[in-house]
Homo-oligomer: A and B are copies of this chain.
Amino acid sequence: MNKKTRRTPQKLAIFEFLSNNKNHPSAEDIYRALSARFPTMSLSTVYNVLKAFQREGLVTELIVDPEKSRYDAAPQPHHHLVCLACRKIADVERDFKIDLEPSETNGFEIVRRQIDFLGYCSACRSDKKNIHNRRLQNG
């Protein structure tokens, strides 16, 4: 962590939780997970801390869930599998060489690329099958 910002127990706990977590939790997820250890911690503190971490470059805000932001503390760039049904996110560790020709960039200065593989996770796939089967049974 940076020296400019203060090391509070809440910040340490949030950073630790995010680092050890593979689920790319939302602010609410983090809040709920830590409220046993920090019963007085507020949700706005979670938001404040996440914003501060983003400014320091420690945390990335993932934009893959239309309903809420998800957060990622992984140090190396990577990509994601996103379930369109339950919004589960899994990491794809591989790096892809994708680059645009200067003529394709439309004047943009590209600083990062993100690849989302959208689909259905195994749990939601079997749910789908169940629904399908039920329909067939009902006629």
With the chains together, A119 CA to B105 CA distance in Å? Answer: 10
* B125 and A109 contact, CB distance less than 8 A: yes
Copies of this chain present in the complex amount to 2
In the complex, identify which listed stretch (A28-36, A38-46, A89-97) lies at the interface while the others stay far away: A89-97
With the chains together, A83 CA to B112 CA distance in Å? Answer: 11
| Size range of the chain A interface in the assembly | 35 or more
Chain A contact surface mostly: mixed
| Residue numbers in B under 8 Å from A57 (CB-CB) | 138
With the chains together, A138 CA to B90 CA distance in Å? Answer: 20
* B106 and A81 contact, CB distance less than 8 A: yes
| Residue numbers in B under 8 Å from A106 (CB-CB) | 81, 90, 121-122
| Residue numbers in B under 8 Å from A96 (CB-CB) | 96, 98
* A104 and B94 contact, CB distance less than 8 A: yes
| Residue numbers in B under 8 Å from A81 (CB-CB) | 105-106, 108, 110
Give A contacts to B, CB under 8 Å: 51, 54-55, 57, 60-61, 63-66, 69, 81, 83-84, 90, 92-94, 96, 98, 100, 104-122, 125, 136-139
